[in-house]
Amino acid sequence: MRYSAFLCCFFVFITLLVGCQAINDASQKNDSIEAEKLKANHYSYNEDQRDAISVINELPGHENVHNVTLQTKKSPSYISVDYTQASTETSRQFEHNWSADFTKKRVFNNATILLGLIDHADSVHFNVHTVVPQSITITRAELEAFYRHPLTPNASKGIQNVNVENNDNEYKINEFFRRHPITELD
C-alpha cells in the first residue's frame, strides 16, 4: 500500500515537473528574432497593413496577435499590436508567457524589427491583454538613440546588426524600460 502511494506521488511530481518545463519551453522557443531572415524577406514594405502583418507573423508572440492597426494617413504614423490569449493555450500559459520579463524582451525585439523593416512607421504601440493589461509605445527615435544608429534596413549599420550590438545586453534593455516603462492598465 505504501509502495503504491509512493509511486502515485512520484508520478504526480514528475507530471508537474514536465508540465512546468513545457510551459517554460513554449514561452522561450520564439523569443529570439532572426533579423537576417526577416531582412531577406524585406522586398519593399509600403503603407500596406498586410506588410506589417507578414512581419508580425514571424515575430515572438505572433500566436497571440489579436489585432494589428497600421496608421499612415496622418502624422505620426504608427503600428498598433494587440496580444490576447490564444485558443490553444491556457490562461496560466498566457500569463506566464507574457510576464513582465518576457513582455519586455518581446516588445523590445518586436519594436526593433518592425521599425527597422517598415520605414514609414514612427512608433509601435503594444497592448497585452493579461489579467493586468500592459501597454507601451516605443518610438523610432528612442530605439535609434538606444542603438546609436538609424534603424532602417538600408542604413550602413542597419537592422542586421541589432542582435550583435545590444539585444543580448539585459542591463541596457532594463535601463531602456526604466526610462520607458510598460504601463499597467486597470
pLDDT one-digit tens code per residue, 126-159:
999 999 999 999 999 999 999 888 887 654 444 5
**Separation CA 57–CA 62 (nearest Å):** 5
Cell of 10: 512520484
Same domain, 24 and 51: no
Mean residue pLDDT of the chain comes to 76
Same domain, 46 and 106: yes
Same domain, 18 and 85: no
* CA nearest neighbour of 81 among 138, 24, 142, 163: 138
CB atoms within 10 A of CB 164: 9
The predicted structure's pLDDT at residue 93: 96
The predicted structure's pLDDT at residue 158: 46
Q: How many domains does the chain have?
A: 2
Same domain, 52 and 99: yes
Identify the helix (H) or strand (E) that includes residue 180. Answer: none
Same domain, 117 and 156: yes
Same domain, 42 and 100: yes
Q: What is the pLDDT of residues 73-126, one digit of tens each?
A: 888 899 999 999 999 999 999 999 999 888 998 999 899 988 888 878 899 999
Same domain, 23 and 76: no
Same domain, 85 and 3: no
Same domain, 20 and 72: no
Range of the domain at 135: 32-184
Same domain, 20 and 42: no
Q: What is the pLDDT of residues 33-70, one digit of tens each?
A: 555 555 545 434 455 677 788 888 989 999 999 999 98
**Percentage with pLDDT > 70 across the chain:** 65
Same domain, 102 and 155: yes
Same domain, 43 and 86: yes
Query: Furthest-apart CA pair in the chain: how many Å?
Result: 74
The predicted structure's pLDDT at residue 126: 97
* pTM of the predicted structure, to 2 decimals: 0.73
Look at 9 and 1; give whichever has higher pLDDT: 1
DSSP annotation string for 36-61: HHHHHT-S---S-HHHHHHHHTTSTT
Measured torsion, CA atoms of residues 64, 184, 110, 113, in degrees rounded to the nearest 10: 150
The predicted structure's pLDDT at residue 171: 84
The predicted structure's pLDDT at residue 54: 84
